[in-house]
């Protein structure tokens, strides 16, 4: 009986370590990338992942992305930065919470669908 418990716990431990990150564990099947609008989807991504540096009055001189107008004015740069693998250009920068694959796809689809509000 004791060996069964050890094998069972080992199996559970193995399964728990088989996924590299949260995104792998929770499948992207829940990613809604169709009919993405600024409100609420894109705005929520920007607020949660970008606003700490791209907000009004930021001391860094980075462009403000807090409104639809500001984001659409800088959208080409935003798309370039979120899809870049060069550590000097990638956004968000290393050390910050990165955008998930789903969030990147949502922003791209929003752009490709003429950025609906």
22 located within any domain: no
CA distances (Å), origin 115, targets 82, 84, 99, 106: 17, 21, 19, 11
What whole-number percentage of the chain has pLDDT above 90?
54
pLDDT of amino acid 38: 98
75 located within any domain: yes
62 located within any domain: yes
Structurally, the chain folds into a number of domains equal to 1
Give the pLDDT confidence of 13-66 residue by residue, as tens digits.
Answer: 555 554 455 555 555 468 999 999 999 999 999 999 999 889 888 877 889 998
Domain with 116 in it: 33-117
77 located within any domain: yes
Packing angle, helices 101-112 and 75-82, rounded to 10: 150
pLDDT of amino acid 28: 47
- Structure pTM? 0.72
């Amino acid at each position: 009986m004791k060996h069964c418990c050890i094998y069972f716990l080992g199996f559970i431990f193995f399964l728990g370590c088989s996924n590299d990150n949260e995104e792998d564990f929770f499948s992207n099947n829940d990613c809604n990338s169709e009919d993405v609008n600024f409100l609420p989807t894109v705005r929520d991504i920007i607020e949660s992942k970008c606003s700490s540096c791209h907000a009004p009055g930021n001391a860094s001189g980075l462009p403000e992305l807090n409104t639809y107008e500001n984001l659409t004015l800088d959208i080409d740069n935003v798309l370039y930065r979120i899809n870049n693998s060069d550590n000097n250009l990638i956004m968000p920068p290393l050390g910050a919470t990165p955008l998930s694959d789903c969030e990147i796809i949502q922003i791209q689809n929003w752009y490709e669908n003429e950025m609906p509000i």
